[in-house]
Structure 1
Amino acid sequence: MNQKKIDISLILRGVMASYVVFWHTLGYQGDIPAIINIPGRVSVWFFFGISGYVISHGFFHGKYRFNWRGLREYFFRRILRIFPLFYLLSALSIFIIIFFSLAMPFNWIDIPAEFFAIQWSHSYALNGVFWTLGIEIQYYLVAPLICFIIFKCGRFHLIFSIIFLSLLWFWPHLANQWFGASYDNRTTIGSLQFFFVGCIMAMLTTNTSFVEVISHRYILLILSIFGFSILGATAWLYQNALGDFWRLTGALMTLLSIASLLAVHIGVENLNIAPGFLSRSLMRIGVLAYGIYAWHGILLKYFAMFQDEFVLTYLVSLILAAVSFFLIEKPAIAFGRRSRNAASH
């Protein structure tokens, strides 16, 4: 990693990945104050928001073009980013199942759902945490269209975005009332609101006045306090009033927190602040966030020694994430960049 300035979005990815591991090992027991005990679901929603921001930023700032060549490059790089580790850990899960003579948790008919994310309500037998990756994969398919529509809305793009976000936010309630769907909506359409708030924040980076305003240090301080306060309140709500959390309130509070902290990211990025030791270390964890998240699911599912052991689970997940990043993810990313450079000549 060669980061010359602080990347708050990368730090947030690392923090949220760490919180998912903590929640799955200790946090769910409720033994620490709720306002600093971020539930796994809220952390995952943050992942979605950051992904929505990063991908949309690429379209709004010309990294990806709205043409065949640009879309081909976009999908190629998305495939290289998510599938190598996804398939590695899926294969490892199958090996563990065979080695320990466990029952295979799916049939041949389930292969499209398990390995290609062809399912509506996401559930993965080999590694339960992969439900979020299935939603990410499906979002990658619609992200270019969403960005293109916003782009074509011209000066009305913000009005359209707010209306569309409101509809996405209200959808889980409608799905519950009309179809009896659970508020725990592990579908792409149910999660799209979190990707889309990231998309809105990426769109706002094209407005230089907005970027300059939020780059003032006092504004950044206010946004940081607001974002983390709302995040803490959301965590408290989840652990003390779960019904209210699921009935739209938790999602709304998370959307506000994502928007605020992504605004902090935009402002800090504009200031070009060089990272110190702490911020650089946190960004390194952010780089490994995908691996930490994916590996901890394997450890908890197949090895009893990791149950309720946060420190052990986190350290082993971190080490395995670093190994898989340098052996699998980093070469795949580099291959994508070389392919892009070759295509541009």
Structure 2
Amino acid sequence: MKYLKGLDTLRALAATIVVVDHIEIIKQNHHISNLIDHPSLIYPDGHLSVILFFVISGFLITYLLLIEENKTGTINLKSFYLRRILRIWPLYYLILFLSYVIFTPDYSLIRILLPLFIAPNISYAICETWDVSPQIWSIGVEEQFYMVWPLIFIIISKSKRIFSYIILLTLLFTLLPFGLKFINLFFVKNTDFGIFISRFFYGTKFNCMGIGVLLGFIYFKRNEIKFPAVLKNRLVIYFLTALPFVLWFFKFHTGHLNDELYAVLFAFSIYQIVHHSKINIDLPITRFLGKISYGIYLFHWIIIILLIQYIPRIDNGYIYNAALYSCVFLLTISVSWISFVTYERFFLNLKKKYEINKS
């Protein structure tokens, strides 16, 4: 598959914002002056970084499945699952191991078992979060999606109503939490169940990945689709491509379906960034950071916690934050790069045996 421009830069942006957001959250947890306690200060929400990751994942996985089906006439499920396992599991389980050994938390059995079985999002939903690296919840969401989506793809990919099916599935999952909350409010009336619904659907955004899936089909069949004339206007394209990032950075938020709104806007931006020849956001540094973004996402929490413990707190907040941010990013990028070219590369080389052009 040819390189899709812009995706590494988008990953780099999302990972960077997650790190900044988590620095501020951890500072708040340690009673250190932070941006969260000063709402007048504007900085982007790290949660939307994960929504961007989800849309990119749904897009890429679907696009790759379509390429494989077009090239071979079928989908090799064994190869698909092995590719995902070899890319995701080695670093995921390394982080589980490292965070447990370094911080030796006193966790219940269920808090340990759920992340071990790739269900950290469910662990989060029942308030049994893997606190020493809580960001792993999103890895569980993606892995669960990867388990199910290829099976659905095989069933519906030949249908003439493929777009309708994807939209229907996305809408059903979007409406599901509202339906469950209604049932709980009027019939079940269980407080714990209500909390579970809110926490589970806050993070488990299969519908946002579904929007990425729809984007994957649209991009693959772009030469067959007649887009409205207004979407071909250069000014409209530039405006809508930039719109989600402007709204994101200024913390625009809706009361309901905020993540879904951003997922749709991100999908339009991704399409134009990948497809439009005059929209080029790649730089050597952003492509580099994008390639190691998985490591950045997984390693940064441990590094922030350790640095906050060992960097002396001084009265001058500017100097302290400059030292903290510099050390966090320097160490996170360095560790992620070393992991990528050594530990991860071993598994990436194994993964190549199951690529489409090897089948």
Give the residue type in structure 1 aligned to 2:151: L
Give the residue type in structure 2 aligned to 1:115: L
Query: d(CA) in 2 for partners of 1:275 and 1:189?
Result: 31
- 2:150 corresponds to: 144
The structure 1 residue matched to 2:81, chosen from 75, 83, 89, is 75
The structure 1 residue matched to 2:180, chosen from 160, 172, 175, is 175
Taking structure 1 as reference, are residues 299 and 211 closer, same or farther at Cα in structure 2, changes over 3 Å only?
A: farther
8 Å Cα contact 1:93-1:126 kept in structure 2: yes
- 2:187 corresponds to: none
- 1:116 corresponds to: 117
The structure 2 residue matched to 1:287, chosen from 291, 294, 297, is 291
Query: d(CA) in 2 for partners of 1:168 and 1:73?
Result: 28
Answering whether residue 170 of structure 2 is matched by residue 165 of structure 1, we say yes
Q: TM-score of the superposition, structure 2-length normalised? A: 0.77
Query: d(CA) in 1 for partners of 2:260 and 2:306?
Result: 35
Answering whether residue 62 of structure 2 is matched by residue 56 of structure 1, we say yes
Q: Deviations for 1:147-184, whole angstroms, at most 9, x for unmatched residues?
A: 224414x2212222223222222333333333324675
Give the residue type in structure 2 aligned to 1:207: K
Q: Deviations for 1:92-143, whole angstroms, at most 9, x for unmatched residues?
A: 223213xxxx5x3324454431222246353324411111111111111112
Q: Alignment identity in percent? A: 20
- 2:188 corresponds to: none
Query: d(CA) in 2 for partners of 1:328 and 1:229?
Result: 38
Query: d(CA) in 2 for partners of 1:339 and 1:6?
Result: 20
Answering whether residue 272 of structure 2 is matched by residue 267 of structure 1, we say no
In the TM superposition, what are the counterparts of 1:309-324 in structure 2 within 5 Å? 309-324=324-339
Query: d(CA) in 2 for partners of 1:201 and 1:61?
Result: 14
Q: Deviations for 1:30-50, whole angstroms, at most 9, x for unmatched residues?
A: 57763xx22111111111111
How much does 1:5 deviate? 5.8
1:105 match: secondary structure: coil
RMSD after superposition:
3.5
Query: d(CA) in 2 for partners of 1:220 and 1:322?
Result: 38
Q: Deviations for 1:249-295, whole angstroms, at most 9, x for unmatched residues?
A: x1232122221112113413xx4x8979x523211111111111111
Q: Number of residue pairs matched?
A: 322
8 Å Cα contact 1:10-1:286 kept in structure 2: yes
- Stretches of 4+ aligned residues off by more than 4 angstroms: 3-6, 29-33, 63-67, 181-184, 210-214, 216-221, 234-238, 273-276, 305-308, 339-343
Answering whether residue 244 of structure 2 is matched by residue 230 of structure 1, we say yes
8 Å Cα contact 1:45-1:194 kept in structure 2: yes
Query: d(CA) in 2 for partners of 1:342 and 1:227?
Result: 33
In the TM superposition, what are the counterparts of 1:11-50 in structure 2 within 5 Å? 11-26=9-24, 28-30=36-38, 34=42, 37-50=43-56
Query: d(CA) in 2 for partners of 1:260 and 1:89?
Result: 33
Taking structure 1 as reference, are residues 105 and 49 closer, same or farther at Cα in structure 2, changes over 3 Å only?
A: farther
Query: d(CA) in 1 for partners of 2:99 and 2:239?
Result: 41
Taking structure 1 as reference, are residues 155 and 168 closer, same or farther at Cα in structure 2, changes over 3 Å only?
A: same
8 Å Cα contact 2:111-2:130 kept in structure 1: no
1:38 match: secondary structure: coil
Query: d(CA) in 2 for partners of 1:66 and 1:72?
Result: 15
Larger deviation, residues 228-237 vs 251-260:
228-237
Query: d(CA) in 1 for partners of 2:78 and 2:56?
Result: 22
Larger deviation, residues 221-230 vs 11-20:
221-230
Query: d(CA) in 1 for partners of 2:163 and 2:52?
Result: 21
- 1:336 corresponds to: 351
Give the residue type in structure 2 aligned to 1:16: A
Query: d(CA) in 2 for partners of 1:212 and 1:33?
Result: 43
In the TM superposition, what are the counterparts of 1:191-202 in structure 2 within 5 Å? 191-202=205-216
Taking structure 1 as reference, are residues 20 and 210 closer, same or farther at Cα in structure 2, changes over 3 Å only?
A: farther
Larger proportion of helix:
1
How much does 1:227 deviate? 3.8
How much does 1:20 deviate? 0.6
